[in-house]
Every structure is written in structure tokens, then in C-alpha cells.
Amino acid sequence: MIDKIQEDCLFEVLGLFQELGLNKHVALIGSWAEYFYDEYFEKDYYPEIATRDIDFLYRNLRVPDFKIPLISTLKDHGFIYSENPMTRVAKFYKSNIIELEFLTRVIGQDQINYDIKSLGITSEGIRDLNLLNKYCVEIQKRGISLFVPQPAAYVVHKILINNKRLKQNKADKDMRSVRNLLEQIKGNSHQRILFQQIISHLSKKERIKFDLICIQKNLDVSSLL
């Protein structure tokens, strides 16, 4: 069951992003991306969303080349801005409703955190986000335009990172989402073909990891390959 207060708060944020022009530069990549997949699946799709964490991937640190007043805008709408005292990584909170964080792809070997100059904040760099960034698509909902990963890419990503989940409850929740989405992908020709394409382009190391996790988690993907 989706929390209506959280849902409305998310759309408030997305509306602000659209007014700022920020929606062109970020993608919603966490569990809340699943909320928007009903655009792909006709029936019997019920996303399991039970988190206040809302994660946005900042897709390209080089653009735009001007400042976006994100911090002041969110503060004006009741958000609290917080920085980790050690890393300076930024988060935004609204009451006990939602928590916003911006993530970036790791570039190179050593750097962990990245300054998003256009927003005036520091973000955490996460490995394994290239797949989500590569297969993003722009969708419309309730008058809002935003980017989300294609469902097929989201599923492959969730499988590949499952063994990195430190908290078992999050790993289990991810697998429930994966199973739910796999059933929907089987009935959607476009997503099924995309799933096959993504798997075929995995590196040898990634494919071994993918196959191993599917075996460990008893995921039946044979009908999709």
C-alpha cells in the first residue's frame, strides 16, 4: 500500500523540480521508480513501496552550467537541509514523511563523493549506476515530466546489486520487487526484448554474477532469455 501523504509529497517535489528545470537532469532511481511503472503494465501491477527514502541520480555533473536554487526552494517548501559533517553529502528531509538524496555515478577508482556545482551540494558516488542511467526514459504523470529507468534495466540492476545489500530486509524487499516486475515483463513484448538486450550486453563478470544470484534467489528468467 502506497502512503498517500508520501505520494503527494513526492509530486510536490517533482513539481518543484519541473519549475526549476531540474527534472531534465535527474532520474528517479530508488524504489519509488516502481510507482511509475504502471505506465508500462496494463493490469495486476501493485508496486511494493515502504520507504521514505527517495533517491535521484544526477545524470551529468557537467550540466547545466548555471545555478539552480534547489536548497532555497526546498527550504521555502518546508524541507530541512542537512549535511553529513564528515563527507558533506547533502540530504533533504520533510517532517517524518520523505528523505531526498542525490546520487552520482562513480568516475574512476578513488573518488567517492562529488560536488554538484549547479545545485551547490555534495552527493554520494555509487558504483553500478551506469545501467540505470543508460536505459532511462522520460515519462509523464499527473502533469509532471520525469526520467525513470526502464523496468527491464531496473530489474537487472536490482539482481546485480542484491548481494551488496547489507540489510537482509532490504535485500528481501528487492527480490519481492524483482519477482513482481519479472512477471509483468514476461507479458510486455517491448520490455522482454529490452531485458534480453541488456543481458546480452553484460560483461562476462556481470553475467556470471547475474546467473549466480538468479540461482541463489531461485529466480526463473529462462523464459525471458
**Amino acid of residue 41:** F
User: Residue 170: its pLDDT value, please?
Assistant: 87
Residues 115, 160, single domain; the answer is: no
Single residue among 109, 124, 149 that ends a domain in this structure: 149
- What radius of gyration do the chain's Cα atoms show? 18
Single residue among 100, 125, 149 that ends a domain in this structure: 149
Single residue among 130, 149, 168 that ends a domain in this structure: 149
Q: Which residues form the domain of 97?
A: 1-149
Residues 156, 177, single domain; the answer is: yes
Residues 114, 170, single domain; the answer is: no
Residues 142, 165, single domain; the answer is: no
Q: Are strands 26-28 and 53-58 parallel, antiparallel or unpaired?
A: antiparallel
Residues 137, 180, single domain; the answer is: no
Residues 87, 165, single domain; the answer is: no
SS3 content of the chain, % helix, strand, coil (to 5): 45, 20, 35
Query: How far is residue 206 CA from its own chain's centroid?
Result: 20
Residues 109, 181, single domain; the answer is: no
**Is the model's pLDDT at 221 over the cut of 80?**
yes
pLDDT digits (tens, 9 = 90+) for 181-202: 999 999 999 999 999 999 999 9
pLDDT digits (tens, 9 = 90+) for 32-72: 999 999 888 877 788 978 789 999 999 999 999 999 999 99
User: Residue 1: its pLDDT value, please?
Assistant: 63
Rounded to whole angstroms, the Cα distance separating 46 from 181 reads 9
What's the structural domain count of the chain? 2
Residues 20, 119, single domain; the answer is: yes
